[in-house]
Structure 1
Amino acid sequence: MSGPLVGIKVLDLSRVLAGPYCTMTLGDLGADVIKVESPGGSDDTRHWGPPFQNNVSAYYLCANRNKRAITVNLKSEKGRQIIKDLAKQSDVLIHNFKYGTMEKWGLDYDSLKSINPGLIYCGITGFGKTGPYKHLPGYDFVIQAMSGLMSITGTEESGPMKVGVAISDVLTGMNAVIGILAALNERNQSGLGQSIDLALFDSQVSALVNAASNYLVSGKVPKRLGNEHPNIVPYQTFKTKDREMAIAVGNDGQFKRMCSAMGLDSLPSDERFLTNEKRLENRKVLTSILSDAFQQENASHWQSLLNQAGVPCGPINDMKAVFDEEQIQARNMLVEVDHPEAGKVSLVGSPIHYSRTPVSVRKHPPMVGEHTEEVLKELGLKEYEINSLKAEKVI
């Protein structure tokens, strides 16, 4: 087995996307991840669809590979004891229950650190453990709305729009990975674990980056610009003769090379377009000139010319076009895994490419409770004890 996290044990009590995305990433990196659900399955994404592949949800498949799955009734004392026994042997525990739930069950950080002082305990909630919103539930869509992201997404005509994927969940999952890896590194020095308090709301607000900074510096509330950029021109989509494409001119040199490639040699010396600041002031005029020019040829023509000139550009791909891209194949960003119920499943590969300890897809996204007996036997339970727990509906 390869991967930089081989030997790290992760107890995953999360569901839906933010937590599972985090633990899938840890699993991709080699960690042994145990996914915990209630008997019968409690990860809502197992039922989100269509599409399904042989009754297995595509949504569930996207964030759950490289895990083992067990079922445990956390509302029972015996079930909670199983979690405590697993936590005692784990390096990391992650959950996304609402504020107060883990405390009610006696599975909060203070309770578990007494039996495992080295435990890294990551709790993901909508709004964190402090502040007036700490008791509120948080779904990605609501977070996109409240964080200001929707206010700057779309056009003035369209009104506020959400991003095409649950980006607040994905960002929070990535922040969870960062927080966990840093805490594991610190534990190498101190020998102690710690708790990590992660909120979807915080993660999304932190990701507003330049949009937030523009407001904090100027005091001006940003408007929706559609595919245009608030700070750079030209940095947007343009219609060509056959389709739209994206143009991203980030500096004056690129602007000059773009104009030269397009036969618009007079533009860079035009007083209105000499600098990016000038181009921002005269956005409408410049955009009109470029729009007329781009519509004279097909997108492939412009892409070839601009690529040769070193100007960032690209087609607007749909999903089929994305996974038909040669670059996707070359980077192993499309992988396949055999699933006992769904059959051969196609998954998006990991974007992390190590030179010595490569990421690998070792396990299919597990079925409900697929590894319950295996994991409990590793805890030392006998067959008759496992059967008794089944009869009592603890597992």
Structure 2
Amino acid sequence: MSGASGTAGLPLSGLRVLDLTVARAGPTCVRHLADWGAEVIRIAPPASEGGEIAGDQDGFDYQNLHRNKRALQIDLKTPEGLALFMRMAEGADVVIENMRAAVKFRLGVDYASVAAVNPRVVYGSISGFGQDGPYGHRAGVDQIAQAMGGLMSITGVPGAGLVRVGIPIADLTAGNLLALAVMMALFDRTKTGRGRWVHTSLLESMVFMLDFQASRWLLAGQVAGQAGNDHPTSIPTGVYPTKDRPIALAASSPRMWDRFCDALGKPDWKARPGWDSRDGRSDDRAAINAAISEVTATMPSLHWIEVLDTAGIPCGAINTIDQTFADPQVQHLQMAKPVAHPRLGDQKLVRTPINMADIGWDIRSPTPDANQHADAVLGELGLSPDEIDRLRAARAIR
């Protein structure tokens, strides 16, 4: 198979990836690889077996997940479809899947089966709860991982009920971490000559993302609760009113607290009993927040952002998503990248947040239809038109 056009000079150019992923976590991993030059072949199941229907393909979510790929549909449940996949796997560097843990074994596309035809393959998996164990058989989705992983218990305003995070953070984190694991395994392959199976799960990723809240329990025995917009341990950090709209600010270190008090015209706060130490400010956070709010409410948000920025205090507007993309810094960073879709017209997609010196990056191709590249990919694999026709007749491909 030949590489996708326009990848010369990108760090993953020449890498061949077979993408068996669905939903979001797996495609998030593969998107990193595709964005940075890997030749990615998305292998979707037939629509009748859970493959994306046309309406889903045209939606904003699908379009943002699957750019820079080629695509075909293979029915892995047919002997011919499985044989075709294994033929493709012989020349692949990476295979990524996020099926329920047992499904890949039932289909015969698990790591051991693929490695039998290609020992150099790096095989990446994402599951809901792990590849084995008491919950290993369960299907997993982001919100369940947020719930079971502890995140919902610390999100939201105290007393107002449990709240999920407004993005699929477990899916995204699992995808990001699997991409990192794949790259580590590829680097290890340069020394050993062999691939390996790397995997993570939504639950593992969510527990990992608890970070200091997890170590707070493991090392200090403290069970964190909801803190609303306050930082759990660093005061003052949070959301404060202004004359027009709220702002977020953080001034928790001793040096920042001193500069913050001066910037607000309240130098006496620095010497107020209890407010002159980190622990004291934490104990009296409600009074400190109320005092700050009284001051910030007297002037517009832009005034305080300029004043605090001059003083070196982290601060910013609280944007809606349309305001985020209108922000001059976000526009400078070119986070919305244009691409022309042959059916849907001009689009803007979210670009990779990774920057590499002296390497340009762009969206090389829009998200393909599910079976757009079947003939081209199979022709590059060496199949004749007659062989392709026979696969279609057997309903192994569409």
TM-score range normalised by the length of the shorter chain: over 0.9
TM-score normalised by the chain length of structure 1: 0.96
String of CA shifts for 1:324-345, please: whole Å, max 9, x gaps.
1111221121101111221111
1:288 CA displacement: 1.1
Alignment counterpart, residue 378 of structure 1, candidates 377, 380, 384:
380
Matched ranges for 1:28-107 at <5 A: 28-40=35-47, 42-43=50-51, 47=55, 56-107=58-109
* 1:324 paired to 2:334: no
* 1:9 paired to 2:54: no
Residues 115 and 121 in structure 2, CA contact (< 8 A), matched pair in contact too: yes
1:218 CA displacement: 2.8
Residues 120 and 180 in structure 1, CA contact (< 8 A), matched pair in contact too: yes
Q: 2:109 & 2:103 partners in 1: Cα distance?
A: 9
| Structure-1 residue corresponding to 2:31 | 24
Question: SS where residue 330 of structure 2 aligns?
Answer: helix
Gap runs ≥5 in structure 2: 1-7
| Structure-2 residue corresponding to 1:51 | none
String of CA shifts for 1:304-358, please: whole Å, max 9, x gaps.
1001111000000011111111112211211011112211111011111111333
Question: SS where residue 117 of structure 2 aligns?
Answer: coil
1:373 CA displacement: 0.9
| Structure-2 residue corresponding to 1:362 | 364
Question: SS where residue 65 of structure 2 aligns?
Answer: coil
Residues 19 and 43 in structure 2, CA contact (< 8 A), matched pair in contact too: yes
Question: SS where residue 274 of structure 2 aligns?
Answer: helix
Q: Which amino acid aligns with 1:131?
A: G
Identify if the C-alpha distance between structure 1 residues 45 and 298 changes in structure 2 by more than 3 Å, giving closer, same or farther.
farther
Segment of structure 1 superposing worse, 113-122 or 268-277: 268-277
| Structure-2 residue corresponding to 1:252 | 254
* 1:309 paired to 2:314: no
1:47 CA displacement: 4.9
Q: CA RMSD in A?
A: 1.4
Question: SS where residue 288 of structure 1 aligns?
Answer: helix
Question: SS where residue 382 of structure 2 aligns?
Answer: coil
Q: 2:53 & 2:200 partners in 1: Cα distance?
A: 21
1:45 CA displacement: 8.8
| Structure-2 residue corresponding to 1:173 | 175
Matched ranges for 1:200-279 at <5 A: 200-279=202-281
String of CA shifts for 1:32-83, please: whole Å, max 9, x gaps.
11111122384559655xxxxxx71011112111111110001101111111
Q: 2:176 & 2:110 partners in 1: Cα distance?
A: 22
Q: Which amino acid aligns with 1:249?
A: A
1:253 CA displacement: 1.0
Q: Which amino acid aligns with 1:245?
A: I
String of CA shifts for 1:260-319, please: whole Å, max 9, x gaps.
111011111222111222110111111111111111111111001001111000000011
Question: SS where residue 65 of structure 1 aligns?
Answer: coil
Identify if the C-alpha distance between structure 1 residues 348 and 378 changes in structure 2 by more than 3 Å, giving closer, same or farther.
same
% identical equivalent positions: 34
String of CA shifts for 1:202-255, please: whole Å, max 9, x gaps.
001000001111122332321101111111000100111111110112411111
Segment of structure 1 superposing worse, 355-364 or 308-317: 355-364
Gap runs ≥5 in structure 1: 49-54
| Structure-2 residue corresponding to 1:293 | 295
Alignment counterpart, residue 151 of structure 1, candidates 140, 153, 168:
153
Residues 3 and 360 in structure 1, CA contact (< 8 A), matched pair in contact too: no
Q: 1:193 & 1:323 partners in 2: Cα distance?
A: 41
Residues 80 and 394 in structure 2, CA contact (< 8 A), matched pair in contact too: no
TM-score normalised by the chain length of structure 2: 0.95
Q: 1:36 & 1:275 partners in 2: Cα distance?
A: 58
Question: SS where residue 256 of structure 2 aligns?
Answer: helix
Q: 2:98 & 2:40 partners in 1: Cα distance?
A: 16
